[in-house]
Amino acid sequence: MLAVALMFPNTMNRLIQITTLLLFPIFTQVQAADKGPETFKVNDLTFSRPAEWGWQQPTSRMRKAQLSVPGKDGAADVVFFYFGPGGAGGVQANVDRWIGQFKKLNDKDVSSKKAGGTNVTYVEAEGTFMVGPPFGEKVPKEGYGLLGAIIEAKGGAIFIKMTGPEKTVKKAKGDFVKMTEKALK
């Protein structure tokens, strides 16, 4: 393989890209066998993981927690981000960023409410979602859904984003909202 890389560097780069594209969905859609902690902290909030959801080791330092939601149509990922006060831009910038991850948007809904005296913005979207690393190549996934929550916590916003097959995301909505709002009580 080293000889191929030295003789045909462009071919090797393309092989690496193809391998990454093929393996990325496998690594991100793994049905979590590790139950992990029942509760976990992100900034000052303690979240209770729904019993059916699996715990995953975060796949990057930007992720503060990572869960897997099982589903007949495939697993959905739930990722928690916290960047400190003012980190990652405001609410609207993140709503726009999340919606912008869809190549084709079939439906979207953005709503805000107070939970435990804290503003929470929920984002729902369905369509063709572009899956892949933030600065790498993306793979279009038709029939995908996104359910996000932006919690405007005192110490800085907490971003929770679930993505996966539409049916899995829709079925998990109740648990997602309950988990989010229970942390604010």
**Mind listing the pLDDT tens digit for each residue in 84-124?**
998 888 999 999 999 999 999 999 999 999 999 999 999 99
- Can you give the pLDDT at residue 34? 60
- Can you give the pLDDT at residue 133? 87
Percent of the chain's residues with pLDDT above 70: 81
In this structure, the answer to whether residues 88 and 18 fall within a common structural domain is no
In this structure, the answer to whether residues 41 and 17 fall within a common structural domain is no
In this structure, the answer to whether residues 134 and 174 fall within a common structural domain is yes
- More confident: 88 or 129: 129
* pLDDT tens, position by position, 64-75: 999 999 999 999
In this structure, the answer to whether residues 9 and 91 fall within a common structural domain is no
Using the predicted structure, report yes or no on whether residue 6 has a pLDDT greater than 50: no
From CA 155, how far away is CA 82, in angstroms rounded? 10
- Can you give the pLDDT at residue 1? 45
In this structure, the answer to whether residues 81 and 172 fall within a common structural domain is yes
**Count of structural domains, the chain:** 2
* pLDDT tens, position by position, 23-62: 444 344 444 446 699 999 999 999 999 999 999 999 999 9
In this structure, the answer to whether residues 38 and 17 fall within a common structural domain is no
In this structure, the answer to whether residues 60 and 136 fall within a common structural domain is yes
Using the predicted structure, report yes or no on whether residue 160 has a pLDDT greater than 80: yes
Strand bridging mode 76-82 / 158-165: antiparallel
- Using CA atoms in the order 129, 132, 137, 142, what is the torsion angle rounded to 10 degrees? -20
What is the residue whose two structure tokens read 């959801």?
Answer: 53
In this structure, the answer to whether residues 5 and 54 fall within a common structural domain is no
Residues 6+ apart with CB under 8 A from 106: 126, 127
Compute the average pLDDT of residues 165-172: 98
- Can you give the pLDDT at residue 86? 87
Residue type, 142: E
- Can you give the pLDDT at residue 107? 96
Q: How far is CA 35 from CA 11, 22, 55, in A?
A: 41, 26, 5
Letter string b/e over residues 73-93, b meaning 16 or more CB atoms within 10 A of that residue's CB: ebbbbbbbbbeeeeebeebee
In this structure, the answer to whether residues 105 and 146 fall within a common structural domain is yes
In this structure, the answer to whether residues 88 and 25 fall within a common structural domain is no
CATH number reported for the structural domain that contains residue 64 in this entry: 3.40.1000
In this structure, the answer to whether residues 18 and 68 fall within a common structural domain is no
Q: How far is CA 117 from CA 30, 109, 114, in A?
A: 36, 22, 6
Q: How far is CA 17 from CA 76, 115, 130, 132, 136, in A?
A: 24, 43, 16, 11, 9
Domain that holds residue 20: 1-30
In this structure, the answer to whether residues 82 and 22 fall within a common structural domain is no
